[in-house]
Amino acid sequence: MAAVRLSALPAITGEPDPAGADCVGCGRCCHHGPSTVTLFESDEVRMGPDLLAQYTVLERRPPGFRFVKNNGHACGALDVSRPDHYPCAIYEVRPQGCRTVEPGSPCCMEAREKGHLGDSVLFLRSDRAAAT
């Protein structure tokens, strides 16, 4: 399978708001290649059949993973209709994988620097990771 070349957004410097107030203005963690956001059964239940049909794709080959649709460089649920404004169309029922990325975590900071989701799998901020 050929590697997907992501079109990066400009880098963002500085620390993000720990409460996520600037996430909609950033959206870098939502810019990634296909088959990135996997759904769990609990995600499927939370989303319901209509949203699953609209925003997800089911792999045909076993084991039949379900992923959020992707246009090749960004999440299919990301509203990109306004420049520098990236709201999630399914935010209230978003998959667990999306809920896991905390503002200021290594994953978040790498995405802000690269302009798209990177390779980091460290989703919690260091001050919270030590508490778990």
- Residue 9, pLDDT above cutoff 50: yes
In tens, the pLDDT along 37-89 reads 999 999 999 999 999 999 999 999 888 999 999 988 899 999 988 888 899 99
Peptide bond into 83 cis (omega under 30): no
- Residue 2, pLDDT above cutoff 60: no
